[in-house]
Amino acid sequence: MISINRKKMDEVVENLSNVDLVEGTSLWQDAYLRFRKNKAAVTGFVLLVLMTLLAFIGPYFTPWDYESIDWSLIGNAKDGGAPQIANGHYFGIDDLGRDIFARTMQGTQISLMVGFVGTAVAVFVGLFYGAIAGFVGGRVDNIMMRFVDILMSIPIMFVIIIFFVVFGRSIFLLFMAIGMFAWMDMARIVRGQTLAIKNKEYIEAARAAGVSGLRLITRHVIPNLLGIVVIYTSLLIPSLILTESFISFLGLGIQEPLTSWGALINEGARTMQYGTPWQLAFPISFFIVGLFCFFFIGDGLRDALDPKDK
Amino acid sequence: MLKFIVKRVASSIPTLLLLILFSFVMMRLAPGGPFTSERALPVEVLANINAKYGLDQPWHIQLWRYIEGLIFHLDLGPSFKYKDRSVNDIIAQGFPVTMTYGLWSFAVAVVVGMSLGIMAAVKHNTWLDYIAVGISIGAQVLPNFIMAPILVIVFTLWLELLPGGGWNGGQWNHVIMPVIALSTSYMASIARLTRGSMLEVLNSNYIRTAKAKGLPMRTIIFRHAIKPSLLPVMSYLGPAFVGMVTGSVVIDIYFSTGGMGQFFVDAALSRDYSLLMGITVLFGAMTILFSTIVDILYAWLDPKIKL
């Protein structure tokens, strides 16, 4: 009797240990596979990586930097300042004799950084705000979300501009202000998702195991929100770059000699009747290509991570 | 319904008050008053000026006076930089201009965007659809401050058809470029939204039933499909409106149309706090009013919404 059982058990063990386990695909692997199939998104991603590399490495390959003036060409931008390889002005010079290539690279750095840092601020604030509101619920939720409603019906751009006027213009403030006024959508989305998640069994299990409060939120709620957060983040980056460009276009954002896409486009647009079209063409191309990349990546991520589509 | 409207209108009042409070506090936090200039004024003169504008009073009295003037006299106070002109005067001068091209832009964005979206959805997967999608994808990276210089290059510098700026009492050829520049990216978003929701509606069961009954396509689209498919678009109109209001700043600067935006940026650069605040409050009030109207319309259009 016992020996038979023993034999059977050995068989079972043998069988089980020889079975090739079916590899499970996690949500993220699955998403990665689907993202890779999306040609537009992959192209956008590759282009964006190249652009970022160019923006940070490019300045080492030109004799000019973003603020020094080429005295041999100053006042002669129209005739002598056109883009050429010979004198090192790959994108030409602006009306003050500064190298457009170096300035475009510098502007790209700032614009990308505003996009990423601002988004990081917005995501951090929005994620916690939304998760807490949704998780605590009740009156706290009501008050917190009403506050978000109020903020959302204020034309934020004006408030940001007032913010710059009042506190002076610095790069740190630019990053902070733009991020601090962009978290409301994120908070709303996260709250909605949290409401859906918080009654799931695994939350109950965690609670039964004695996890509580902030730890429950950071360990169990937020990881399960990440899909939607990633999608929304990828859309937030270009919209913050747009915001920064808008403010800099008005001459209220980044301060000379530093520059950004918006400021460069502004300069280019102001000087185009002087016959220096390259001053507008290069920054505007970078801006358009960059935003396209972000939008395609966002679309790709949404298709890859949205469970509705499975 | 009436209860919903009253509730919605009532809830927009604290929003406006918060906006006033917020901008007021920010202005007062600013280092240096509006009259600190490079050449320091004698103390007595400065005290006189401050007294004239009521800046010698404590904060809460200043704030109360501001709100009181706003509510009972619709008075936004005097401008700090333009002597002898009140904020109301300046708004009266710039506002009609902004409204003219603003409303046109809004109408163009909504009408063209919706038509494009509906057309694309009805002719799904045909060349019409592809063109419409192409336009709307391309246009989303063309915000007003990109469109404005591009339009000027094409229509003013190359084709020499339209004037590159100015207002000239709102003559059509001065209005056309601001309207296109301001509306393009919103037109694109509205087209995309309309196409998406229209496709969803056209694939739904009741449309299939309508087709099975033998209704002509035109009746199906205009009688049955349009109303529900416009709901998502409705909720975008609020943000689109805000975007156009802010976008008008770029238009005014770039095309020198003489609208509110120009005054706003000038006020920001010269630290004319009362004008800055007046314009912010005005645009804020318009935004809040508009989103209230959209919410009410939405509730009226969508029977599923809880009143």
pLDDT tens digit sequence for A200-209:
888 888 888 8
Contacts of B274 (CB under 8 A, 6+ apart): B34, B53, B76, B77, B78, B79, B80, B87
* Residue A18's pLDDT band (cuts 50, 70, 90): low
- Residues belonging to chain A: 310
Confidence of residue A35 (pLDDT cuts 50, 70, 90): confident
CB pairs below 8 Å between A and B: how many?
A: 110
Do B284 and A161 count as a contact with CB atoms less than 8 A apart? Answer: no
CB atoms B152 and A272 under 8 Å: yes
Whether residue B54 is predicted with pLDDT greater than 90 in this model: the reply is no
Check B284 against A163: CB less than 8 A apart: no
Which phi-psi region, left, alpha or beta, contains residue A168 (left: φ > 0; alpha: ψ -120 to 50)?
A: left
d(CA B15, CA B13): 5
Q: Is pLDDT above 60 for A310?
A: no
Query: Residue A153 and residue B15: Cβ atoms within 8 Å?
Result: yes
Residue A309 confidence class, pLDDT cut points 50, 70, 90: very low
- Which of the residues B246, B269, B277 would you substitute to probe the A interface, choosing the one with the greatest number of A C-beta atoms within 10 Å? B246
> Is residue B9 very low, low, confident or very high in pLDDT (cuts 50, 70, 90)?
confident
Specify the range with the lowest mean pLDDT, choosing from A140-144, A152-156, A205-209.
A152-156
Looking up tokens 């106070």, which residue turns up? B77
> Rounded to whole angstroms, how far apart are CA atoms A251 and B94?
21
Query: Percentage of chain B surpassing pLDDT 90?
Result: 8
Nearest Cβ partner for B268 among A161, A268, A272: A161
Of all residues in chain A, the percent with pLDDT exceeding 90 is 8
Q: Which residues of A are less than 8 Å from B142 in CB distance?
A: 288
Instruction: Find where tokens 């039964």 sit.
Output: A208
pLDDT the model gives residue B107: 92
CA distance B238 to chain A (A): 9
DSSP string, B251-276: HHHHH---SHHHHHHHHHHHT-HHHH
Interface predicted TM-score (ipTM): 0.80
Contact yes or no for B250 and A251 at CB 8 A: no
Rounded-to-integer distance, Cα A138 and Cα A136, Å:
7
Q: Can you say how many angstroms the Cα of residue B46 is from the centroid of all Cα atoms in its chain?
A: 38
Contacts of B146 in chain A (CB under 8 A): 265, 284, 287-288
State how far the Cα of B146 lies from the Cα of B112, in Å rounded to an integer: 20
A259 or A96, greater pLDDT: A259
Residue whose structure tokens are 């990109």? B146
pLDDT: which is higher, A221 or A105: A105
Instruction: Give the minimum alpha-carbon distance from A263 to chain B in angstroms, rounded to a whole number.
Output: 11
Q: Long-range CB contacts (< 8 A, 24+ apart) of B165-173?
A: B165/B254, B165/B255, B165/B256, B165/B257, B166/B255, B166/B256, B166/B257, B167/B97, B167/B256, B167/B257, B167/B258, B170/B97, B170/B100
CA distance B16 to A257: 38
How far is the C-alpha of B259 from the C-alpha of B83, rounded, in Å?
A: 19
Q: Buried (b) or exposed (e) across B133-144, using 16+ Cβ within 10 A?
A: bebbbebbbbbb
**Contact call for A157 and B246, based on CB within 8 A:** yes
**CB–CB contact B250 A249 (8 Å):** yes
pLDDT for the residue numbered B63 = 81
Burial B274-301 (b: 16+ CB within 10 A, else e): bbbbbbbbbbbbbbbebbbebbeebbee
pLDDT, average across residues B195-217: 89
Residues in a beta bridge with B148: none
Mean pLDDT computed over B32-39 = 63
* Cβ atoms of residues A241 and A178 within 8 Å: no
The predicted model gives B137-162 an average pLDDT of 85
Residue labelled with tokens 């301060």: A255
Query: Scanning every residue of chain A, which has its alpha carbon at the shortest distance from the alpha carbon of B287?
Result: A153
Please give the average per-residue pLDDT across B39-43, as a whole number. 73
Residue of A146, A166, A279 to mutate, interface with B, max B Cβ within 10 Å: A166
* pLDDT at site A50: 93
Other residues' Cβ atoms within 10 Å of the Cβ of residue A279: 29
Inter-chain CB proximity B280 and A155 less than 8 Å: yes
Question: Mutate which of A43, A111, A150, A181 to test chain B, going by most B C-beta atoms within 10 A?
Answer: A150
What part of A 149-178 touches B (C-beta under 8 Å)? Answer: 149-150, 153-155, 157-159, 161-167
Q: Would you give the DSSP letter of residue B168?
A: G
Mean pLDDT of chain A: 82
Quote the CA–CA distance of B105 and B102 in Å, as a whole number: 5
Reduced to 3 states (helix: H, G, I; strand: E, B; else coil), residue B213 is helix
Q: How confident is the model at residue B108 (pLDDT cuts 50, 70, 90)?
A: very high
Dihedrals φ, ψ of A89, to 5°?
-90, 80
Nearest to B149 by CA among A16, A126, A265: A265
Q: Do B283 and A268 touch (CB under 8 A)?
A: no
pLDDT interval class at A21 (50, 70, 90): low
- Residues of A with CB below 8 A from B30's CB? 165-167
Residue from A48, A159, A162, A246 whose CB has the most chain B CBs within 10 Å, to mutate: A162
Query: Given pLDDT bands bounded at 50, 70 and 90, which one contains residue B37?
Result: low
Report chain B residues whose CB lies below 8 A from the CB of A245.
143, 145
Confidence of residue B31 (pLDDT cuts 50, 70, 90): low
- CA dihedral angle for residue A189, residue A193, residue A194, residue A197, rounded to 10 degrees: -170
